[in-house]
Chain A
């Protein structure tokens, strides 16, 4: 039996060592640091002001290349915009449609329209971006390991060519035309650094630093990935409180029923 305990301890040690090996084997990209998000934790909600600023970043910067096809303009009202505010936000956006004669036309976007796609189709998107279409951002926060932390890290993780060490340039065969990101697997990323200090002028007067912009657009995209999250957590609290009460009741009745058998 002592032998068994020893072998168990060895297996456990192997497991612990194993977890370390995974991290090393994952590659040279840096591990995204955990940020404090307003939406984290069992009671977290989306920071409406940050997400609204994030929409501004998406509209003015990201939407030039990235679609957000699973969202409709009406969804923006869930972010705290009024109907008239959303109508104002989309007043200059035109979307493709067919007229009554079946001819392709462009018309002003309505609340019920899906977000306008920057390219007519995937082939056009790829052709305009060196052969690789920029990913749709609708569920991007759920579709990457690390989620919001990764996205924020990526957006702030660019290193200009001049600041790379000669060793890095050599190891990753970086040229002047490459974009180097410390968090991207393989480091060379097709997307040039999209954000910088004062890239946008916030309508609410917030100072547009790189960090602020990256955090705001991440907040917006986290919301876009799961607009029902607050509903989910609220329901969960009620369901679990109900089940806890029910379990207590069931246990009391069970004790009662079994009283004569113990």
Chain B
């Protein structure tokens, strides 16, 4: 059944044929995951969409098991998490997988995002695909933030305090919004309960948006390292077995790194202070969020004004929504954009620098450094990208993907 497109598949199994005649799920799988024509020249960066999907499923599976053993109450949450570690059979494994799974989900998604930026995957006709991706990223941030509150340690409590207090910066209605978020006049049991409810709900919203993301992807197919659209069968391969195998291999390699952390350094990415039960009367010396929020935390603190900081932080994500229109170049891939390529790498370095700024106390030279890095972040999106597209002279592009592959092989 290796026919590429056009002819509907014929199922020999009568049950499958009967079902498919009424609900064409098998035809759908056949079309979208078997014969689906996919550019033949993906590099390993194209694995991270599949890896992120695996991590999402893994997070939901481990999360459901944790939820059956967790108690969302300020007096019992901390101990119930410890009970999972100590008394639930293999509970420590499920919790270590979930807590480090969040980090590795973000690692996969960050690579996926930067890959999309480097190869111009957000450009026409994939703008909505990109925007749906940014929506997923935002939902992930909300979910991860609320999940971090659930163990009710010191960082859970004080992280929640810092982030929810941001809303009080909004003029006029800020305090009312904060009270509404908390379900009271301070963070307490109502806050923990609603965060738990939302932490269970949002992953399923993510699944729904991921489904839309995949549907949008399958309209025009994947971008590829050359950024050139496939022009015929010589440029593509069927998704299965070519990319199911390649993605499968990539997923296993990723899981090896993930397992190394889960089994040999499960607390490495966490904060020691979160093993101290939440105490509203004792503020930790340094309140830091989980590592995947640090660049945004640095942007928040880089602006001396509270409202300004909040606007900058949300603005840092807002610019991603309009990225397809900020970039004026018609060339997708950095391979053929000699200047943009370097600025793209500088942007990655800039985000890493922001992450380091976020991890360190806002004192000494970290303050000006975080301000410079924040300015550069916005400079890249708001000034550099619109101008660069106009002045940069792209390198000559090969006529097709097949030509690019063959030339690479020859040279």
Closest Cβ of chain B: how far from A2's Cβ, in Å?
11
Given contacts A70-B82, A243-B252, A250-B249, contact A236 B360 (CB under 8 A): no
Complex: A106 Cα to B5 Cα, angstroms: 79
- Which residues on the B side are within 8 Å of A243 (C-beta)? 252, 255-256, 259
The answer on a CB contact under 8 Å between B86 and A70 is yes
Within 8 A of A (CB), among B61-110: 79, 82-83, 85-86, 92-93, 96
Q: Which residue of B lies closest to A132 (CB)?
A: B282
The answer on a CB contact under 8 Å between A142 and B349 is no
B199 is an interface residue with CB less than 8 A from chain A: no
Complex: A253 Cα to B356 Cα, angstroms: 41
The answer on a CB contact under 8 Å between A250 and B245 is yes
The answer on a CB contact under 8 Å between B92 and A261 is no
The answer on a CB contact under 8 Å between B409 and A25 is no
Closest Cβ of chain B: how far from A12's Cβ, in Å?
9
- Which residues on the A side are within 8 Å of B369 (C-beta)? 14, 18
Query: Please, how many residues of chain A have a CB less than 8 angstroms from a CB on the other chain?
Result: 48
- Which residues on the A side are within 8 Å of B255 (C-beta)? 243
- Which residues on the A side are within 8 Å of B256 (C-beta)? 240, 243-244, 247
Complex: A66 Cα to B85 Cα, angstroms: 22
Closest Cβ of chain B: how far from A84's Cβ, in Å?
24
Q: Is the interface of B mostly helix, strand, loop or mixed?
A: helix
The answer on a CB contact under 8 Å between A233 and B252 is no
Complex: A233 Cα to B260 Cα, angstroms: 10
Interface string of A222-243 (1 = CB under 8 A from B): 0000111001110111011001
Complex: A17 Cα to B369 Cα, angstroms: 12
Closest Cβ of chain B: how far from A187's Cβ, in Å?
15
Could you list 25 A-B pairs, sorted by A, with CB under 8 Å? A1-B342, A4-B346, A8-B349, A11-B349, A14-B353, A15-B356, A18-B365, A21-B364, A21-B365, A22-B360, A69-B79, A70-B79, A144-B272, A145-B272, A226-B85, A227-B86, A228-B92, A232-B96, A235-B263, A243-B256, A250-B248, A250-B249, A258-B245, A258-B246, A261-B237
Interface of A toward B, CB cutoff 8 Å = 1, 4, 7-8, 11, 14-15, 17-18, 21-22, 25, 42, 69-70, 135-136, 138-139, 142-145, 147, 185, 226-228, 231-233, 235-237, 239-240, 243-244, 246-247, 250-251, 253-254, 257-258, 261-262
